Amino acid sequence: MAKTHAGPTETDPILHRWSTLVADVLLDHRVHMFGYVPDEVSGHLLRRLEAEPACTVVCCTREEEAVATVAGAYLGGKRGAVVLQTSGIGNSMNALGSFVVPYQIPMLLIVSERGGLGEFNPAQVPLGHAVPRVLDALGIQTFPLTPEAEIAPVLAGAAELAFATMMPVAVVLTTRLTGGKTLR
């Protein structure tokens, strides 16, 4: 429904490969509900998921809304993930800390990395850098998805951890994996 941005990396075969691997693991684990705020890096993954008939993909106005919507879908019987960039974790704190964690509602947080290797924007650095510690402070574990050979085992392990132990779990789409943002 929502049109995502087709950036210049759209036809890059490397981008195709990682997003296909990620989508396949998510579908294997019956993760079918997605909430997101657009981001260049995750655009391709989202288009792939939107093409899956089993998936519901919701474009939200704020990442906190995406967390709450995906949590609601879990209550309604659908496993889900929030796709967001590191700054979106900042926008999600209250929904995570005073709803998802205390109610033990599992979900995946698929975070595209900003503020680390290759970053060009000073405004992305402090929060991007703080994300794993901020999540850790809430008891949420974070796992980087690098290198490509480890995407499947790490993401599958994160899904198992989340849905078996009823906790949100974060995975990071690192710039080393995705090549980072190209639109400057």
Partner 1 sequence: MNRLDAIRRIVPLLGDAAVVSNLGRNTYDLYEASDRPENFYMWGAMGSTSSVGLGIAMAQPARRVVVLDGDGSMLMSLGCLATVAAYRPANLILVVLDNETYETTGGQATHSGRCADLEAVARGAGLAHTATVTTVDDFAAALGRALRDPGPWFILAKVEQATSFARVPRRPIFIKDRFMAALGTTAG
| Cα-based distances in Å from 172 to 1, 2, 42, 73, 142 | 26, 24, 11, 23, 7
Query: Could you say whether residue 70 binds partner 1 (CB under 8 A)?
Result: yes
Residue 140 as a binder of partner 1 (CB under 8 A): the answer is: no
Q: Binding partner 1 by CB under 8 A: which of 8, 13, 53, 77?
A: 77
Q: How many CB atoms lie within 10 A of CB 48?
A: 19
Rounded Cα distance, 139 and 133, in Å: 10
Of residues 21 and 82, the one with the C-beta less far from partner 1: 82
Contact between 83 and partner 1 per CB under 8 A: no
Radius of gyration for the alpha carbons in the chain, expressed in angstroms and rounded: 15
Nearer to partner 1, 101 or 152 (CB): 101
Contacts with 130 (C-beta within 8 Å, 6 or more apart), sequence order: none
Of the pair 106, 115, the CB lying nearest partner 1 is at 106
Q: Does 109 bind partner 1 (CB under 8 A)?
A: no
* Residue 62 interacting with partner 1 (CB under 8 A): yes
Both tokens of 134, joined, read 């901020």
- Return the number of the residue (48 or 79) whose C-beta is nearest partner 1: 79
Closest distance of CB 17 from partner 1, Å = 30
Amino acid at 136: D
The reply to whether 27 sits near partner 1 by the rule CB under 8 A is no
Nearer to partner 1, 56 or 182 (CB): 56
CB 46 within 8 A of CB 83: yes
Q: Is 176 in the site for partner 1 (CB under 8 A)?
A: no
